[in-house]
Amino acid sequence: AQTVTQSQPEMSVQEAETVTLSCTYDTSESDYYLFWYKQPPSRQMILVIRQEAYKQQNATENRFSVNFQKAAKSFSLKISDSQLGDAAMYFCAYRRNAGNMLTFGGGTRLMVKP
Amino acid sequence: KAGVTQTPRYLIKTRGQQVTLSCSPISGHRSVSWYQQTPGQGLQFLFEYFSETQRNKGNFPGRFSGRQFSNSRSEMNVSTLELGDSALYLCASSLETGLPIGVEAFFGQGTRLTVV
């Protein structure tokens, strides 16, 4: 079974600074997808970024980028120029190639200080 | 384009009762998945439906069941409610084209179930 681990329960960053959230996963499969989701106090899960395992290039979405290390099974999220609106719970998630079943990590609570 | 809609948003039930939650996916999405979120267990996968068929099932007791209709709307049912069933239940839909396009899951706002 796949497992996803987020080792940082809480992180704090100063507004306009950069922060990196860590995620490791365990799988025996070679083809899969990885995601970062954001869950603000409204509880709505919002997709931040996705990465296909077959792609070597790291995904980037505006201020959000990932560092995908397939051999190390590591998938970290970097948030640049942090904004107050980035404060939320962030979840790393794994999806097999077939079927729409997500395995989530325990989450990292990100606080942004003004 | 409307997002994923879950109803009701909040629900209070008594132990032993049953409850039905509803999820309307994004138009055109054929896959609907359900998740339970609790402070202690985090986000756990319940089941996934695709074209009216259950495709995957998580490790939950048989009291948890679901179904999907021909218009892709889905319902989940919990019978004989227990206090531990109190949670936020999230529904997600995805396009599922079989290609890398459409693999993202889009979530609804959830149904907060409280069992007393």
pLDDT in tens, A34-78: 999 999 998 899 999 999 999 889 999 999 999 999 999 999 999
Mark which residues 41-60 of B lie under 8 Å from A by CB: 42-43, 45, 48, 50, 55-56, 58
Percent of chain A with pLDDT over 70: 100
- Whole-angstrom CA distances from B36 to A4, A76, B86 are 17, 25, 9
SS3 B83: helix
Which pLDDT value is given to residue A34? Answer: 96
Q: What are the mean pLDDT values of chain B's consecutive 10-residue runs (116 residues total)?
A: 92 98 95 95 95 93 96 96 98 80 87 98
**Which residue of chain A is at minimal alpha-carbon distance from B98?**
A98
Name the average pLDDT for chain A. 95
pLDDT level of residue A98 (50, 70, 90 thresholds): confident
Touching check for B92 and chain A: CB below 8 Å?
yes
Strand partners, A86: none
CB hemisphere CA count around B21 (13 angstroms)? 32
Tokens for B45? 């996968």
Query: A41 and B110 in contact (C-beta within 8 Å)?
Result: no
Query: A76 and A19 in contact (C-beta within 8 Å)?
Result: no
